[in-house]
Chains A and B, each alone.
Chain A
Amino acid sequence: MSDLQRTDVLVIGAGLAGERCAMEVAASGRECVILSLVPPRRSHSCAAQGGMQAALGNCVKAEGDSPDVHFLDTVRGSDWGADQEVARIFADNAPIAVRELAHFGVPWTRVRAGTNHYFIKGEQVAIEEPKEKAGLIMHRDFGGTAKWRACYAAAGTGHAALYAIDSEVIRLGITVRDRMEAIALIHDGERCHGAVTRCLRTGRLGAILARATVIATGGHGRIYGKYTTNATINEGAGAAIALATGRVPLGNMEAVQFHPTGLWPSGILVTEGCRGDGGYLLNSAGERFLVALEPEKQELASRDVVSRHMMNEIREGRGVDSPNGPHLWLDLRHLGEAHLTTRLREVYEICRDFLGVEPWNELVPVRPTQHYSMGGMRVNKDGEAYGMSGLYAVGEAACWDMHGFNRLGGNSLAETLVAGRVVGRRIADALERTATSADIALVDQAVEGQTRRLRSWADRPEGGSVYEIRDAMAEIMMNRLGVFRTGDELDSAVADLRVLRERLRDASLRSTSPGPNPEIGFAIRLEGMLDLALVTAEGARARTESRGAHSRLDYPARDDERWLNRTLARWPVDADGPVLDYEPVGLLDLPPGERGYGHAKRVEMEMSLEDYNAVVEAAQREQGRLASAEAIGSQLREGAWRAAEDGSKA
């Protein structure tokens, strides 16, 4: 048979989440194999620049910060969609994660004692940092938080973190098989036993048998085609292969975060700072359209609002036409060369390297762009899948659910490390309790199934191009599952995505050359992406409310009476679409309330908190979940946020 390997734990994904999880497993003495599409250090975690949230409270603007305040910000930011137990585990462990990274060598930016000059809302402010704090890890402001909390390593936080974690993986001698793609899970309907792999060096199929399998494949922004800040490898294969089991549900796939300024046509993220420091947005007539639409905040209105107006301008024909498609302009010219090459140096470098323009002389083409996937493979607080044992998920691929319907900037990097650590430990514990081995016939069957799948692609008669289908998918997703959504558009999106699935069945390859043929690799990933796209569309259509990043123009209120829940989407084998189900968001400690920004309308829940929580507890008992009061992780300390709330208002 093809290449077969056995191990205790298979981790699919070598970003921060997968590698941190593998370290924990290896530290417990278990054998572990990590798979990755690319060498680990090229995983998309390396692209995060801004920072990592952890309530260390080290600088003046962070005074009074604590995990309690961080918990509050996270739950509020999620528009109460988060699982509050998970938000608690997260907030309590984030400081440990950041300090551990310092131990592994991350050169965190440190507090400088004495007078420091910061830019706050575009203005320079002098602040005196005390001597006692000198040399501790510094924080910066990141939006949506009561305190300065984001820890950062100059402009390369994700890079520094990923290099430090990967160094530890090398030190521990963990096997990483890069250019090795998981294309299906091996399972018996009850338990997961590993994955079928395709080698991206040779094109050969193989299998890895494992007692526990972890999905750590990152976000799936590429279901928006080129309209994403995500890397080309963020194609959501992990969620797709979990969905393909027919048993494992994905959570809240309709919860998608957008960023107003993706560079056009490449989609590269241009930071918020460019508007914060006074940049304008112009339409094709050269008008600052936000001045009339948002007289008060103008370009500084929230991400959602700015993105919405930008999409409207484009849709109503006031976008700038280009051979690459319509866009708007970001005008930074009035900020001047000196400011742009110092304060906004990263923005300047992006303009220079990817457009060849000097932003003090020329305009910069931008568009709203997909940025973060809150949804993913649904797991409980211990990282375990629903509906299948031996399967786990961590990082952006997971819906562990500390983000609910809106992720706060800087929370996702911290999540990868906290989840990796906590879930890795849980897996090591679970291995103590289970002794399983897969039937080799099961493996053969799985590999044969995938061989047939690939062959069916190679054998097809001439048909449409997979790339055209991808582009059609991207247009549907960006235009109808973008920043703002309506019932009519969602109906048509669902219908059109179904048509695309049909078209994909008739599509064919242009090349069948042997080896790691990139076209066939893309074709099978596109099958998965279209599934995820349809799940996203169905979930968004069903959710008749607005919550966090899911904004329905036809249902503008947040409806806690009907929708204080999480979407679960399963795709039964051979069904032609997903089946949606719902579960409560989790135990409520912080009662649903105002987020303090975004839409204000809200329908209150009639059920009492006690009754809601009783339902959650009963469900958890039924599913045999571990109590969260175990040694690692944390438990909800009822009402602990109260003191913090007073503090954060002060």
Chain B
Amino acid sequence: MSETSAEQVASTEALVAERKPRRLKFRIFRYNPQDPNSEPRMQEYRLEETPFMTLFIALNRLREEQEADLQFDFACRSAVCGSCGMLVNGRPTLACKTLTSDLPRVIHLHPLPSFQLVGDLSVDTGSWFRGMSERVQAWVHERAPFDPEAQEERMDDELAQAIYESDRCIECGCCVAACGVAATNDEFVAPAGMNRIARFMMDPRDGRGRRDWFDVISSDEGVFGCIGLMACQDVCPKELPLLEVYAYLRRKALGGWFLGGK
């Protein structure tokens, strides 16, 4: 075993030690709609920073040590389930993958806007996304029933990868929270909804044709409602190329208009 590696360990430890523990100041939005005595307010907490501290670790410590009824949502704590979207210093993002070391000493936390508040930092993204899925009928409109005896239909791997790319949305709601149009128009399918439409549109297993899609996308509730400021793409933690998605949908929508679709 090499000595250099021991040296490097020492240097890494020094690195960890160098990140001097800061005393973080949290300013957190508090409101419990179930409590008649509760008023919306900002509350302040202090917490010693530890190495590799994420907001998942920090918020749980606050709840366990200082404020037992603080509400927030985490499940996977690994940026795959989409539970923990919130405004961190004003920006919608996943709290579980936010390192405190990347933030200033004073950290402001608010719930995501545009969703029903459950309490404190917890919002009801689940109902919003189910509603969206129902509205755009976000499932494969099968051409034939499943045959358990048959071999799978073939698909080109390039296409499979393209579908996978747009299937990667984790429904965290960050893009919806960032979108000014979604904030003022409840009917707008919002960035995540448009991405979902594109995902099924490009899937050859889905039997819907242009005409079926036309109403969903070619209105102010659909792709033409978007004013293209791209706040959504900037905040998407999965880095989905939402800009490209809208371009694709606009092309499809216009094509549908002129050609009448299939």
Instruction: Looking at the assembled complex, report how far the CB atom of B248 sits from the nearest CB atom of chain A, in whole angstroms.
Output: 17
Q: Which residues of B contact A322 (CB under 8 A)?
A: 16, 51
Q: B167–A511 contact, CB under 8 A?
A: no
Q: CB within 8 A of A136: which of B64, B126, B151?
A: B151
Stretch at the interface among A35-43, A78-86, A450-458, A552-560: A35-43
CB contact under 8 A between A159 and B97, given known A266-B57, A322-B51: no
Q: A41–B171 contact, CB under 8 A?
A: yes
Q: Which residues of A contact B50 (CB under 8 A)?
A: 323-324
Q: CB within 8 A of B12: which of A153, A154, A266, A363?
A: A363
Q: How distant is the Cα of A285 from the Cα of B153 in the complex, in angstroms? A: 55
Q: A285–B75 contact, CB under 8 A?
A: no
Interface residues of A in 185-233 (CB under 8 A from B): 201-203, 231-233
Report the number of A-B residue pairs with Cβ-Cβ less than 8 Å.
239
Q: B126–A231 contact, CB under 8 A?
A: no
Q: CB within 8 A of A99: which of B83, B140, B148?
A: B148
Q: Which residues of A contact B64 (CB under 8 A)?
A: 465, 467
CB contact under 8 A between A513 and B32, given known A159-B170, A324-B50: yes
Instruction: Looking at the assembled complex, report how far the CB atom of A447 sits from the nearest CB atom of chain B, in whole angstroms.
Output: 19
Q: CB within 8 A of A41: which of B56, B129, B154?
A: B129
Q: B97–A353 contact, CB under 8 A?
A: yes
B70 contacts partner chain A, Cβ-Cβ < 8 Å: yes
B63 contacts partner chain A, Cβ-Cβ < 8 Å: yes
Instruction: Looking at the assembled complex, report how far the CB atom of B158 sits from the nearest CB atom of chain A, in whole angstroms.
Output: 9
Q: B118–A201 contact, CB under 8 A?
A: yes
B221 contacts partner chain A, Cβ-Cβ < 8 Å: no
Stretch at the interface among B3-11, B176-184, B211-219: B3-11
Q: A513–B75 contact, CB under 8 A?
A: no
Q: CB within 8 A of A282: which of B5, B51, B75?
A: B5
Q: Residue on A with the closest CB to B4?
A: A286
Q: Which residues of A contact B8 (CB under 8 A)?
A: 286, 333, 363
Q: Which residues of B contact A56 (CB under 8 A)?
A: 152
Q: CB within 8 A of B75: which of A232, A324, A356?
A: A232
Q: Which residues of B contact A268 (CB under 8 A)?
A: 77-78
A105 contacts partner chain B, Cβ-Cβ < 8 Å: yes
Q: Which residues of A contact B170 (CB under 8 A)?
A: 41, 46, 159
Q: B75–A365 contact, CB under 8 A?
A: no
Interface residues of B in 96-127 (CB under 8 A from A): 97, 99, 101-102, 118-119, 124-127
Q: CB within 8 A of A167: which of B67, B140, B157?
A: B140
Q: Which residues of B contact A287 (CB under 8 A)?
A: 1, 6
B62-106 interface bits toward A, Cβ cutoff 8 Å, 1 = contact, 0 = none:
011001111101111111111100000000000001010110000
Q: CB within 8 A of B69: which of A104, A201, A517?
A: A517
A156 contacts partner chain B, Cβ-Cβ < 8 Å: yes
Interface residues of B in 138-177 (CB under 8 A from A): 138-140, 142, 146, 148, 150-157, 160-161, 163-164, 167-168, 170-171
Q: B75–A42 contact, CB under 8 A?
A: yes
B229 contacts partner chain A, Cβ-Cβ < 8 Å: no
Q: A354–B99 contact, CB under 8 A?
A: yes
CB contact under 8 A between A365 and B70, given known A112-B157, A320-B13, A322-B16: no
Q: Which residues of B contact A433 (CB under 8 A)?
A: none
A335 contacts partner chain B, Cβ-Cβ < 8 Å: no
Instruction: Looking at the assembled complex, report how far the CB atom of A424 sits from the nearest CB atom of chain B, in whole angstroms.
Output: 14
Q: How distant is the Cα of A596 from the Cα of B48 in the complex, in angstroms? A: 50
Q: How distant is the Cα of A109 from the Cα of B10 in the complex, in angstroms? A: 43
Q: B32–A514 contact, CB under 8 A?
A: yes
A131-142 interface bits toward B, Cβ cutoff 8 Å, 1 = contact, 0 = none:
000111110000
Q: Which residues of A contact B6 (CB under 8 A)?
A: 285-287
Q: How distant is the Cα of A288 from the Cα of B203 in the complex, in angstroms? A: 49
A331 contacts partner chain B, Cβ-Cβ < 8 Å: yes
Q: Which residue of A170, A203, A518 has the most chain B CB atoms within 10 A of its CB atom?
A: A518
Q: A44–B139 contact, CB under 8 A?
A: no
B52 contacts partner chain A, Cβ-Cβ < 8 Å: yes
A519 contacts partner chain B, Cβ-Cβ < 8 Å: yes
Q: A178–B126 contact, CB under 8 A?
A: yes
Q: How distant is the Cα of A156 from the Cα of B70 in the complex, in angstroms? A: 32
Range for the number of chain A residues in contact with chain B: 35 or more
B217-232 interface bits toward A, Cβ cutoff 8 Å, 1 = contact, 0 = none:
0000000000000000
Q: Which residues of B contact A163 (CB under 8 A)?
A: 167
A179 contacts partner chain B, Cβ-Cβ < 8 Å: yes
A81-122 interface bits toward B, Cβ cutoff 8 Å, 1 = contact, 0 = none:
000000000000000101110111101111110000000000
Instruction: Looking at the assembled complex, report how far the CB atom of A372 sits from the nearest CB atom of chain B, in whole angstroms.
Output: 16
Q: A44–B76 contact, CB under 8 A?
A: yes
B22 contacts partner chain A, Cβ-Cβ < 8 Å: no
Q: How distant is the Cα of A179 from the Cα of B75 in the complex, in angstroms? A: 12
Instruction: Looking at the assembled complex, report how far the CB atom of B174 sits from the nearest CB atom of chain A, in whole angstroms.
Output: 14
Q: Which residues of B contact A515 (CB under 8 A)?
A: 32-35, 119
Q: How distant is the Cα of A135 from the Cα of B38 in the complex, in angstroms? A: 58
Q: How distant is the Cα of A98 from the Cα of B97 in the complex, in angstroms? A: 31
Q: B9–A286 contact, CB under 8 A?
A: yes
Q: Which residues of A contact B129 (CB under 8 A)?
A: 39, 41
B205 contacts partner chain A, Cβ-Cβ < 8 Å: yes
Q: CB within 8 A of B35: which of A40, A286, A514?
A: A514
Q: CB within 8 A of B148: which of A100, A178, A320?
A: A100
Instruction: Looking at the assembled complex, report how far the CB atom of B64 sits from the nearest CB atom of chain A, in whole angstroms.
Output: 4
Q: A518–B63 contact, CB under 8 A?
A: yes
Q: CB within 8 A of B77: which of A99, A136, A231?
A: A231
Q: B80–A108 contact, CB under 8 A?
A: no
Q: A232–B77 contact, CB under 8 A?
A: yes
A168 contacts partner chain B, Cβ-Cβ < 8 Å: yes
A268-308 interface bits toward B, Cβ cutoff 8 Å, 1 = contact, 0 = none:
11000000000010101111100100000000000000000
Instruction: Looking at the assembled complex, report how far the CB atom of A93 sits from the nearest CB atom of chain B, in whole angstroms.
Output: 9
Q: How distant is the Cα of A233 from the Cα of B74 in the complex, in angstroms? A: 8
A509 contacts partner chain B, Cβ-Cβ < 8 Å: yes
Instruction: Looking at the assembled complex, report how far the CB atom of A521 sits from the nearest CB atom of chain B, in whole angstroms.
Output: 10
A350 contacts partner chain B, Cβ-Cβ < 8 Å: yes
A510 contacts partner chain B, Cβ-Cβ < 8 Å: yes
Instruction: Looking at the assembled complex, report how far the CB atom of B7 sits from the nearest CB atom of chain A, in whole angstroms.
Output: 7
Q: Which residues of A contact B13 (CB under 8 A)?
A: 320
Q: Residue on B with the closest CB to A512?
A: B69
Q: A266–B77 contact, CB under 8 A?
A: yes
CB contact under 8 A between A356 and B52, given known A168-B139, A287-B1: yes
Q: B155–A518 contact, CB under 8 A?
A: no
CB contact under 8 A between A44 and B75, given known A156-B164, A511-B69: yes
Q: How distant is the Cα of A107 from the Cα of B161 in the complex, in angstroms? A: 7
A381-402 interface bits toward B, Cβ cutoff 8 Å, 1 = contact, 0 = none:
0000000000000000000000
Q: CB within 8 A of B126: which of A39, A108, A233, A354?
A: A39
Q: CB within 8 A of A362: which of B12, B83, B167?
A: B12
Q: List 25 A-B contacts (CB under 8 A).
A: A38-B75, A47-B80, A103-B152, A104-B139, A107-B163, A107-B164, A153-B167, A154-B164, A176-B130, A232-B77, A282-B5, A285-B9, A286-B6, A286-B8, A286-B10, A287-B1, A288-B5, A323-B51, A353-B97, A356-B99, A365-B52, A510-B68, A511-B68, A514-B34, A519-B69
Supplied contacts A47-B81, A102-B152, 14 more A-B pairs, CB within 8 Å: A42-B75, A105-B140, A108-B155, A110-B154, A112-B157, A153-B164, A159-B80, A170-B130, A231-B75, A285-B9, A287-B6, A329-B9, A353-B97, A516-B71
B residues in contact (CB < 8 Å) with A: 1, 5-10, 12-13, 15-16, 32-35, 38, 50-52, 54, 56-57, 63-64, 67-71, 73-83, 97, 99, 101-102, 118-119, 124-127, 129-130, 133-134, 137-140, 142, 146, 148, 150-157, 160-161, 163-164, 167-168, 170-171, 200, 203, 205-206
A residues in contact (CB < 8 Å) with B: 37-44, 46-47, 56, 96, 98-100, 102-105, 107-112, 134-138, 153-154, 156, 159-160, 163-164, 167-168, 170-171, 176, 178-179, 201-203, 231-233, 264-269, 280, 282, 284-288, 291, 320, 322-324, 329, 331, 333, 350, 353-356, 362-363, 365, 465, 467, 509-511, 513-519
